C-alpha cells in the first residue's frame, strides 16, 4: 500500500464505482443512494486534500480574529489564553496533526460560552456574530462541491479565502 493519500482515495473511488456499484441489487435504492453519497464524499475529500493545511490555518486565524474583537470588549483570561495558544500554532510550520483544528474548536467553544452568558454585552454578541461570517464563508466555499448551495455564484472562491 502506498502512503499517498490522493492515490488511496483514487483507488477507493474506482473500486466503489467500477466493482461495488455494478454488484448492487438494483432494487436496493437506499444502498445505491448511500454508495453514491460515499463516492461523492471521497471525491470531494480528494479534491480538497491539497488545501487542507491552508483551510486549517485560515479557520484558526478567523477564530483568533473574532476572539481578539471580543477581547477588546471583554476581559476573559481563558479566551486570551486560547488566543495565545492559537497564535503559536499559526506560526508553526508543521504543527501536530489536527492541532490547529483542535485550537479553533477551543476558541469557538469559549466564544459560545461567552455568548450564552446572560450578562454578555450586546457589543460582544455583535462582534461574535459579525466575526462568524469569515468562518461561514470558508465552510460554504469548502463544501461547495457537495452541491447544496442554492446559488453557488454567491459563495466566495475558496482560493480567495485561503
Report pTM: 0.84
pLDDT, tens digit, 9 for 90 and up, residues 94-153: 999 899 999 999 999 999 999 999 999 999 999 999 999 999 999 999 999 988 899 999
Rounded to a whole number of angstroms, the CA Rg of the chain reads 20
The predicted pLDDT at position 147 comes to 87
Output the CA torsion sign for 138, 140, 145, 151.
negative
How many residues does this entry show for the chain?
162
Output the CA torsion sign for 95, 101, 105, 111.
positive
Question: What is the C-alpha separation between 54 and 85, in angstroms, rounded?
Answer: 18
The predicted pLDDT at position 1 comes to 59
Amino acid at each position: 500500500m502506498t502512503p499517498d493519500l490522493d492515490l488511496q482515495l483514487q483507488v477507493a473511488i474506482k473500486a466503489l464505482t467500477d466493482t461495488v456499484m455494478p454488484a448492487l441489487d438494483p432494487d436496493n435504492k437506499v444502498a445505491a443512494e448511500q454508495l453514491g453519497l460515499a463516492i461523492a464524499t471521497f471525491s470531494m475529500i480528494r479534491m480538497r486534500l491539497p488545501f487542507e493545511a491552508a483551510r486549517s490555518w485560515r479557520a484558526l486565524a478567523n477564530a483568533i480574529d473574532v476572539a481578539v474583537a471580543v477581547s477588546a470588549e471583554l476581559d476573559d483570561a481563558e479566551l486570551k489564553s486560547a488566543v495565545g495558544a492559537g497564535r503559536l500554532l499559526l506560526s508553526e510550520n508543521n504543527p501536530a496533526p489536527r492541532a490547529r483544528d483542535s485550537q479553533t474548536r477551543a476558541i469557538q467553544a469559549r466564544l459560545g460560552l461567552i455568548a450564552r452568558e446572560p450578562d454578555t454585552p450586546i457589543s460582544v454578541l455583535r462582534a461574535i456574530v459579525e466575526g462568524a461570517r469569515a468562518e461561514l464563508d470558508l465552510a460554504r466555499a469548502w463544501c461547495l462541491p457537495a452541491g447544496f448551495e442554492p446559488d453557488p455564484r454567491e459563495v466566495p472562491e475558496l482560493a480567495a479565502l485561503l
